[in-house]
Amino acid sequence: MDVNGKVVLLTGGSAGIGRELARKLKAKGAEVILTGRDAARLEAMRSEGFAVLAADLSNAEGVDALVAALGERDIDILINNAGQGVAHDFREGAPDPDAADACIYANLNAPIRLTAALLPRLRARPEAAIVNVTSGLAIAPRAGSPVYCATKAALRSYTLALRAQLAGERVLVVEALPPVVDTQMTADRPKGKMPPQECARQILAALEGGRSEANVGLTKVLRAVYSVSPALARAVMIRY
């Protein structure tokens, strides 16, 4: 897919992987509308020439407000990148169920709701794409992040089914599976993190190449291990 001239809606585009994706898409000639929750970060991206929309995607009202703010404008590419983690480890204390609900909505319900709202206009374009950013943890979970892992595994299943439904249509469905990336969410990890610029580069390369999956960095290794022995992949990742 040639992204030059395409209109892209990129959620979670003011920091981390999303910010680097936005910059790379813009450099390729795409018009990027990005969302985020932090006003200062959004203003910084506006100063770089991006169209920005404040959006809280952890609830239905926030998603619907975003769709309303878009109006009737054409969208060629929807990138469901926004996500959040949540502390949910019974070994460390009682988790907050409300925080878990917000994580589930932002990571799973919001992409589903946005896809349902925007698919008619994507189908109307000569060439379109939906990119869902999941995680290597969608393949095999780690014990310390059960809710986050569950949302990414569920979004992976949704993406696989959506791709089957849209087979033969002009809407490419891409799943991006990053490894541990150097973002605010992984600030407590001292090492072993991929730079977000490289992660964004690999995701964009998959989109431009028309590939259905972008197994980024070490996720390629995890996919290879899983193909040989799912049990081994799960045993390794559960302690990760």
Tens of pLDDT, residues 140-170: 999 999 999 999 999 999 999 999 999 999 9
Under DSSP, the state recorded for 64 is H
Residue 234 pLDDT > 70, yes or no? Answer: yes
CA angle 51, 5, 83 (to 5 degrees): 50
Q: Which residues, in sequence order, are CB contacts of 19 under 8 Å at separation 6+?
A: 13, 41, 45, 196
pLDDT value at residue 160: 98
Taking each helix axis from N to C terminus, what angle separates 146-165 and 110-123, rounded to the nearest 10 degrees? 20
Burial class (CB in 10 A: 0-12, 13-18, 19+), 61: exposed
Distances (CA, A) of 104 to 96, 127, 209: 13, 30, 31
Catalytically annotated residue among 148, 158, 226, 240: 148
pLDDT value at residue 187: 61
Tokens representing 202 are 């690999």
pLDDT value at residue 193: 81
Under DSSP, the state recorded for 38 is -
Find residue 53's DSSP bridge partners. Answer: 35
Whether the CB-CB separation of 56 and 48 falls below 8 Å is answered with: no
**Domains of the chain, start order:** 7-237 (3.40.50.720)
pLDDT value at residue 13: 96
Give every strand in the sheet of 128-133, ordered side by side.
51-54, 31-36, 7-10, 77-80, 128-133, 171-177, 213-215
pLDDT value at residue 238: 92
Residue 226 among the catalytic residues: no
Distances (CA, A) of 77 to 42, 215, 224: 20, 19, 29
Q: pLDDT averaged over the chain?
A: 95
Cα separation, 141 vs 168, in Å, equals 32
What band does 239 get if pLDDT is binned at 50, 70 and 90? confident
pLDDT value at residue 190: 64
Q: For the segment 20-74, what is each residue's pLDDT rounded down to a tens digit?
A: 999 999 999 999 999 999 999 999 999 999 999 999 999 999 999 999 999 999 9
What band does 183 get if pLDDT is binned at 50, 70 and 90? confident
